[in-house]
């Protein structure tokens, strides 16, 4: 859906049109016909599954895209981020015909919080800026400032008709957590593909393969996850120190452990920083991590706060927990409930897909309208399309089997 020039904040719902070749009641459509010949699990089985399916196939039945105009004030943008209860929004410019040019995320929110805190505390900054005016900056001006400090990342996106394997590779290459999927014809955003969505796709449609040999081994034996130099904070750690770790270490969550026993108490993530916006205390970043956890876990069951596995649990158990609990990471605890390691969704996808599939070539994107509305086609056109798609799939199968 094209963006309007005069709209500063647009919530764009996308209803997924029916795919002409196959009708499916599943929230995801998967073209698994070329993989029927795979009877035993091979090292690159999951990678080939993603190679044979395009990003559109991983798109949910319906999704909502939140887009902010570059001329929106930063304070309104952050309020919109909170109101939409989302980790990110897309950025566009009406002057460019609504072209998507970037992402505004919780990371930016944390960066602004820390900039304001450093100014209050008199900490010198390499790039001078009046932090009191940041809220009155437009998103465009803020991004220009971030670019001048060398911290602005260019937008990385992918066409909907490119393979899911290519999406996984881009997520790994640029070490990003979200990848906008664009309509190859109109150039408008369709949805955001993430490690979580890719893992769910594998979980739903990878059952056609036998289990891999590594599924009974522990993540530590396989080298999946982070096991050394773990970043952790204590309940008494000031919030600004916790946010500094999240901002500078390129991690999305940090375990909170007891200062004496080192037992895990909880997890503080980047998204939790949104709650700081509701606190009007000028010294809010001087408060402890414990106070933030108390606010986060208010009226919640303690058992649902910490998502973890034991050091003796298998890799497959870790995958199942990530899928069932719908989380971005989990901690690995020893018999004393102390943190031994952290496994993220990126770690799992890189191990299951990216590394085993390094030798695979992604099919060239077919820049033809994959998304076509059946109701707009005659019976003759529909039969021709079905025949063409079937022929293309057979040819693709022959090439891969060679």
pLDDT per position as a tens digit, 341-354: 999 999 999 999 99
pLDDT confidence of residue 166? 96
Q: How many CA within 13 A on the CB side of residue 248?
A: 8
**Mean pLDDT calculated for residue range 182-186:** 89
**Cα distance between residue 322 and residue 343, in whole Å:** 9
For residue 311, the tally of other CB atoms under 10 A from its CB is 14
Strand, helix or coil at 12? strand
**Mean pLDDT calculated for residue range 49-77:** 89
CA–CA distance from 160 to each of 94, 174, 189, 367 (Å)?
A: 23, 19, 9, 10
**Cα distance between residue 269 and residue 327, in whole Å:** 11
pLDDT at 365 over 60: no
Cα 173 off chain centre by = 14
Phi, psi of 35 (to 5 degrees): -105, 10
Q: Is 125 exposed, middle or buried (0-12, 13-18, 19+ CB in 10 A)?
A: exposed
**Cα distance between residue 30 and residue 32, in whole Å:** 6
**Mean pLDDT calculated for residue range 277-293:** 83
First vs last C-alpha separation in the chain: 40
User: Residue 341 forms beta bridges with which residues?
Assistant: 332
**Cα distance between residue 249 and residue 114, in whole Å:** 14
Encoded tokens for 300? 């919640």
pLDDT at 169 over 90: yes
Cβ neighbours of residue 256 closer than 8 Å, sequence gap 6 or more: 232, 233, 234, 235, 237, 264, 265, 266, 267, 268, 289, 290, 293
Cα torsion 260, 262, 266, 268: sign: positive
pLDDT confidence of residue 28? 43
Closest listed residue to residue 173, CA positions, set 198, 189, 156:
156
pLDDT confidence of residue 154? 85
pLDDT at 11 over 70: no
pLDDT confidence of residue 173? 95
pLDDT confidence of residue 264? 94
Q: Output DSSP code: residue 64.
A: E
**Cα distance between residue 250 and residue 362, in whole Å:** 28
More confident residue, 199 or 10: 199
Select, from the ranges 63-67, 169-173, 272-276, the one with the highest average predicted confidence (pLDDT).
169-173
Phi, psi of 315 (to 5 degrees): -60, -40
pLDDT confidence of residue 273? 86
Q: Is 156 exposed, middle or buried (0-12, 13-18, 19+ CB in 10 A)?
A: middle
pLDDT at 6 over 50: no
Res. 281 pLDDT band, cuts 50 70 90: confident
pLDDT confidence of residue 330? 94
pLDDT at 357 over 70: yes
pLDDT confidence of residue 98? 76
pLDDT confidence of residue 368? 46
pLDDT confidence of residue 136? 78
- Specify whether the CB–CB gap between 253 and 243 falls below 8 A: no
Beta strand pairing call for 178-182 and 189-194: antiparallel
**Residue with tokens 């870790």, as numbered in its chain:** 318
**Mean pLDDT calculated for residue range 130-136:** 62
pLDDT at 259 over 70: yes
pLDDT at 245 over 70: yes
Cβ neighbours of residue 50 closer than 8 Å, sequence gap 6 or more: 163, 164, 165, 167, 168, 198, 201, 202, 353, 357
pLDDT confidence of residue 351? 97
Q: Is 319 exposed, middle or buried (0-12, 13-18, 19+ CB in 10 A)?
A: buried
pLDDT at 400 over 90: no
pTM for this entry:
0.78
Res. 380 pLDDT band, cuts 50 70 90: low
CA–CA distance from 373 to each of 192, 203, 246, 378 (Å)?
A: 22, 29, 44, 11
Cβ neighbours of residue 157 closer than 8 Å, sequence gap 6 or more: 100, 179, 180, 181, 182, 189
For residue 42, the tally of other CB atoms under 10 A from its CB is 14
Encoded tokens for 13? 């719902």
Cα 181 off chain centre by = 12
Of 30-39, 208-217, 335-344, 386-395, give the lowest mean pLDDT range: 30-39
pLDDT at 247 over 80: yes
Angle between the N-to-C axes of helices 106-121 and 74-83, in degrees from 0 to 180, rounded to the nearest 10: 130
pLDDT confidence of residue 301? 54
């Amino acid at each position: 859906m094209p963006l309007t020039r005069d709209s500063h904040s647009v919530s764009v719902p996308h209803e997924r049109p029916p795919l002409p070749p196959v009708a499916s009641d599943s929230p995801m459509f998967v073209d698994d016909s070329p993989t029927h010949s795979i009877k035993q699990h091979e090292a690159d089985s999951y990678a080939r599954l993603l190679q044979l399916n395009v990003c559109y196939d991983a798109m949910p039945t319906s999704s909502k895209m939140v887009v902010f105009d570059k001329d929106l004030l930063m304070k309104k943008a952050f309020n919109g981020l909170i109101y939409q209860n989302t980790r990110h929004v897309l950025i566009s410019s009406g002057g460019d015909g609504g072209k998507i040019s970037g992402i505004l995320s919780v990371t930016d929110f944390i960066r602004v919080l820390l900039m304001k805190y450093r100014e209050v505390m008199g900490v010198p900054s390499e790039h001078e800026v009046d932090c009191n005016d940041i809220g009155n900056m437009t998103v465009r001006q803020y991004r220009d400032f971030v670019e001048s400090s060398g911290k602005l990342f260019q937008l990385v996106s992918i066409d909907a008709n490119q393979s899911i394997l290519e999406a996984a590779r881009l997520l790994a290459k640029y070490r990003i957590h979200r990848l906008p999927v664009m309509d190859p014809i109109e150039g408008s955003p369709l949805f955001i593909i993430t490690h979580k969505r890719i893992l769910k796709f594998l979980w739903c449609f990878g059952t056609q393969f036998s289990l891999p040999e590594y599924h009974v081994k522990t993540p530590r034996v396989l080298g999946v996850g982070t096991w050394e130099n773990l970043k952790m904070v204590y309940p008494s750690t000031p919030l600004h120190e916790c946010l500094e770790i999240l901002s500078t270490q390129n991690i999305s969550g940090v375990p909170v452990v007891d200062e004496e026993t080192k037992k895990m108490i909880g997890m503080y993530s980047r998204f939790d920083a949104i709650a700081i916006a509701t606190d009007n205390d000028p010294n809010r970043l001087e408060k402890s991590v414990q106070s933030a956890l108390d606010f986060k876990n208010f009226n919640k069951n303690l058992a649902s706060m910490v998502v973890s596995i034991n050091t003796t649990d298998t890799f497959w158990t870790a995958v199942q927990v990530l899928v069932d609990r719908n989380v971005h990471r989990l901690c690995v605890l020893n018999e004393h409930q102390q943190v031994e390691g952290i496994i993220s969704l990126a770690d799992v996808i890189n191990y299951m897909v990216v590394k085993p599939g390094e030798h695979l070539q992604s099919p060239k994107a077919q820049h033809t309208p994959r998304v076509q509305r059946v109701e707009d086609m005659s019976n003759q056109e529909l039969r021709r399309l079905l025949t063409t798609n079937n022929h293309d799939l057979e040819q693709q199968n022959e090439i891969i089997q060679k």
